[in-house]
Amino acid sequence: EDKVVQSPLSLVVHEGDTVTLNCSYEVTNFRSLLWYKQEKKAPTFLFMLTSSGIEKKSGRLSSILDKKELFSILNITATQTGDSAVYLCAVPKRWSGNQFYFGTGTSLTVIP
Amino acid sequence: NAGVTQTPKFQVLKTGQSMTLQCAQDMNHNSMYWYRQDPGMGLRLIYYSASEGTTDKGEVPNGYNVSRLNKREFSLRLESAAPSQTSVYFCASSESSGRSPYEQYFGPGTRLTVT
């Protein structure tokens, strides 16, 4: 059965810390993995990692994809209170148009 | 651009009542989706519409119906609300073509409570 699992479920850190969030997957005919950030309301897109692009970076956020070991990590360096959110990963279902398997998310709280 | 908009933001229903959640997008996307999000369950797809004029069931369609009114609008209807439908509902939209996947753009959500 296809699945996407995120860990840890929640994390509390102090400002300035570096955090690593994990997303492991078992999905038939894997093509790509997406990361979203969800603050109080709608999830917003962060990165898409594909076979041809296994590392992405944007400011203090970076993500890598390990297709051999079937996981991705999202790193946030020098965390700020504005990084507090739920981080979701999603993997597209094969032969399903643009449907995704979503993980349950990691809730990150950054304390001043 | 407003992106994806949803109405209402909050709603309280009594068991058995009906209501329609409205969603509209102004990004000229072909595909639209309805999700529910419950604690510990992540986002679960209720229905989706790959293009105007088509709709298909997702993971948890029971108790819901949808209408793709035109390319911009995709509504979700609860015919007879049940407490198990208490949740946060998100509408989303995306491009779609043979070159998918594409990121989805989400609306702000509707918090629904059924008593």
Say yes or no for a CB contact (<8 Å) between B90 and A42: yes
B106 at interface of A, judged by CB pairs closer than 8 A: yes
**Encoding tokens for residue A78?**
């020098």
A24 confidence band (pLDDT: 50, 70, 90): very high
Whether the pLDDT of residue B44 is over 70: the answer is yes
More confident residue, B95 or A16: A16
User: Is the previous residue joined to A8 through a cis bond, with omega within 30 degrees of 0?
Assistant: yes
Residue A30's pLDDT is 86
Cα dihedral angle (A41, A46, A49, A53), rounded to 10 degrees? 170
Q: Please give the pLDDT value at position A52.
A: 67
On the CB side of B21, how many CA atoms lie within 13 Å of its CA? Answer: 33
User: In a mutagenesis test of the A interface, which of B95, B99, B103 is the best target, namely the one with the most A β-carbons within 10 Å?
Assistant: B103
A105 pLDDT band, cuts 50/70/90, is: very high
Q: How far does the CA of residue B72 sit from the closest CA of chain A (Å)?
A: 17
Does the pLDDT value for residue B97 go beyond 80? no
With bands split at pLDDT 50, 70 and 90, how would you rate the model's confidence at B2?
confident
Q: pLDDT (tens digit, 9 = 90+) per residue, B11-29?
A: 999 999 999 999 999 999 9
> From the CA of A105, how many Å to the nearest CA of chain B?
7
Cβ–Cβ gap A34/B103 under 8 Å = yes
Whether residue B106 and residue A42 make contact (CB cut-off 8 A), yes or no, is yes
- Tens of pLDDT, residue by residue over B52-92, are 889 999 999 999 999 998 999 999 999 999 999 999 999 99
Q: Across the interface, which of A41, A88, A105 has its CB nearest the CB of B109?
A: A41
Whether residue B99 is predicted with pLDDT greater than 80 in this model: the reply is no
Whether the pLDDT of residue A53 is over 70: the answer is: no
At B98 the pLDDT is 61
Instruction: Say what the alpha-carbon torsion angle B4, A4, A79, A39 is, to the nearest 10 degrees.
Output: 30
- For residue A8, give the nearest of A68, A93, A57, A74 by alpha carbon: A74
pLDDT at A11: 96
